[in-house]
Structures are given as C-alpha cells and as structure tokens.
C-alpha cells in the first residue's frame, strides 16, 4: 500500500487484514457527539456486518436513535470511499436480516458490506480528506456559493442513487434558520439533555486520551492560547456539571443565562 502523492494516509494502516484498514478510516466518520456507535463482525474473509452499539446511545438527545442511525450511514459511506482508494468495490446490503421500526433498535445488522477487488473502480477524490475532516462547530460565513459551485454540487449526485435539492432563496434560508433555532431551544431546554452532552465533552487532553471518543475544545474551534485559557481558568467538568442542575428543567430563554461551559465559544469570538 503505497502512499499517493498529496494524500494523507492513516498512520496505522499496515494491517494484514484489509477490513481492519478500511475500518480505521470509517471510524473517522461524522457521528453524533463523536460517540462512535458502531460494532462490526467478520462472518467471512471479504465481509463486514455493521451493528449499532447499544451501549453507545444518546437517550436524552436522540431518544428515537435518528442521529445514531445517520452515524451508521456516514460510517458506511466513508468505508466505501476508503475502499475505492485500495481498488475495492463495496457491495452494501442494508438490513440483511430484516428491518426494524424507526422508534427502536434491534440486535440485527444495519448493513452487510462485501468487499470485492475491482480493477475498474476509480479512487474517490474525497479519500484525501478522510484523515483530516472534522465536523465544524464554529460560525459559518454568509458567503453565497457561486453558480459554478452549485453546478458542481449537483453533478455529484448525477450517478448516485440519491438526489440533491438546493435551497437558494432567501425565504427558504429564513425558514431553515428558524427550524435550527427552534431545534436548539429543544436541545437546551432540559438539564438532563445538557448533562448528557457535557458527559461527552472532553475538557482536556487527559480525558480525550482516556475515553477516545466524544469531543473537546478543538472540535469547537477553540485552539492555541484560547484553549489553554479555557481549560486552565474558565471551564472544568465540575463547574459544568454543577451549573446545569441549578438552571432547572425548563431553561428555554433564547439568549438568556447559560453555563460558563456553553459560553466559551462566544466569549472568544
């Protein structure tokens, strides 16, 4: 497995078993709170069964497991992209042992992934970004995509089994912005939900090394001296966990009081 020029590979991708190599990339995919809710089985040399890890759920934030199942989809897609780099096609069979309803989870695989060597497959250009991608939690710019950029986005779905619908009118922008605002109010209105999120936050490097999942200040756009200041003087797990229960069960004020934990990002803008 030779490194292609300009492509960043995982530092530990020298497994004899290609399945493990592909999994090392798939584990980098976006998922809720970076909880990494995946389990796999190897029923055959060229096959991976993907399951939801029932011990890694978010019952307060995601009670019907919608986000968890989206995370299964990102895992599959990233594995498919990585496989293309190594000349492998992945045949995906969803819910091979039967589906379950959208209000529950069952001990059935979400997908069966069959690895097929294929000399005709083209390496996906997104592969070079897998080892460096990160879900941003920093403010988005108001820059509008150009017509050419919109065309390129549409082209991405021409040969795919999905479609892309672009929202490009101001009224639609405003509607979606309101949806997002209302969703954040729901997210923040109960201390149990906020405490669940705090439980996934890593307040320093020691916690990140200990748990190997969750998210921290760098994933929230707080780096360098600002990160040092936050970790050293402003925020700690004890402060964050003690603060929220005092806010009560229905802190729904938009722009009202928040714990110092949630205020860090705004304070540094």
Region of poorest pLDDT, from 55-59, 82-86, 95-99, 244-248 = 244-248
**For residue 243, is it within any domain?**
yes
Cα–Cα distance for residue pair 206/48, rounded to 1 Å: 33
**For residue 11, is it within any domain?**
no
pLDDT of residue 12: 56
- The residue assigned the tokens 């780096």 is 223
Q: Same structural domain for residues 108 and 170?
A: no
**For residue 135, is it within any domain?**
no
Q: Same structural domain for residues 33 and 109?
A: yes
Q: Same structural domain for residues 74 and 173?
A: no
**Closest of 135, 134, 127 to residue 8, by C-alpha:** 127
Domain boundary among 152, 180, 208: 180
**For residue 201, is it within any domain?**
yes
pLDDT confidence tier of residue 269, bands split at 50, 70 and 90: very low
Residue 88 has pLDDT above 80, yes or no: yes
For the chain, how many structural domains are there in total?
3
66: left (phi over 0), alpha (psi -120 to 50) or beta: alpha
Q: Same structural domain for residues 83 and 27?
A: yes
Q: Same structural domain for residues 43 and 124?
A: yes
Q: What is the CATH number of the domain that holds 112?
A: 3.40.109.10
Which of 8-22, 36-50, 93-107, 144-158: highest mean pLDDT?
A: 36-50
**For residue 10, is it within any domain?**
no
Q: Same structural domain for residues 161 and 214?
A: no
Residue 83 has pLDDT above 80, yes or no: yes
Q: Same structural domain for residues 155 and 105?
A: no
Concatenating the DSSP letter of every residue in 186-197 gives HHHS-HHHHHHH
Q: Same structural domain for residues 158 and 260?
A: no
Residue 30 has pLDDT above 80, yes or no: yes
Residue 158 has pLDDT above 90, yes or no: no
**For residue 100, is it within any domain?**
yes
Q: Which two tokens stand for residue 45?
A: 């040399």
Q: Same structural domain for residues 108 and 160?
A: no
**Residue 23 belongs to what domain range?**
18-129
**For residue 185, is it within any domain?**
no
**For residue 3, is it within any domain?**
no
Is the Cβ–Cβ distance between 82 and 150 less than 8 Å? no
Q: Same structural domain for residues 107 and 25?
A: yes
Q: Same structural domain for residues 86 and 108?
A: yes
Q: Same structural domain for residues 112 and 71?
A: yes
């Amino acid at each position: 497995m030779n490194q292609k020029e300009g492509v960043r590979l995982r530092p530990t991708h020298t497994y004899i078993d290609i399945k493990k190599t592909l999994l090392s990339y798939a584990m980098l995919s976006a998922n809720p709170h970076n909880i990494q809710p995946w389990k796999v089985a190897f029923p055959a040399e060229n096959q991976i069964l993907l399951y939801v890890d029932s011990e890694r759920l978010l019952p307060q934030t995601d009670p019907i497991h919608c986000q968890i199942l989206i995370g299964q989809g990102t895992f599959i897609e990233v594995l498919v992209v990585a496989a293309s780099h190594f000349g492998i096609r992945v045949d995906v069979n969803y819910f091979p042992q039967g589906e379950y309803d959208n209000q529950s989870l069952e001990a059935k695989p979400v997908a069966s992934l069959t690895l097929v060597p294929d000399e005709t497959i083209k390496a996906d250009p997104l592969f070079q970004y897998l080892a460096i991608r990160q879900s941003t939690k920093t403010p988005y710019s108001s820059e509008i995509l150009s017509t050419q950029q919109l065309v390129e986005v549409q082209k991405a779905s021409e040969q795919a089994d999905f479609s892309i619908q672009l929202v490009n009118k101001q009224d639609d922008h405003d509607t979606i912005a309101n949806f997002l605002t209302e969703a954040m109010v729901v997210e923040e209105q109960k201390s149990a939900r906020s405490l669940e999120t705090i439980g996934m936050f890593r307040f320093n490097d020691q916690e990140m090394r200990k748990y190997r999942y969750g998210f921290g200040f760098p994933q929230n756009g707080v780096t360098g001296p600002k990160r040092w200041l936050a970790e050293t003087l402003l925020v700690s797990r004890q402060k964050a966990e003690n603060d929220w229960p005092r806010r009560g069960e229905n802190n729904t004020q938009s722009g009202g009081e928040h714990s110092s934990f949630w205020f860090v990002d705004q304070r540094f803008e």
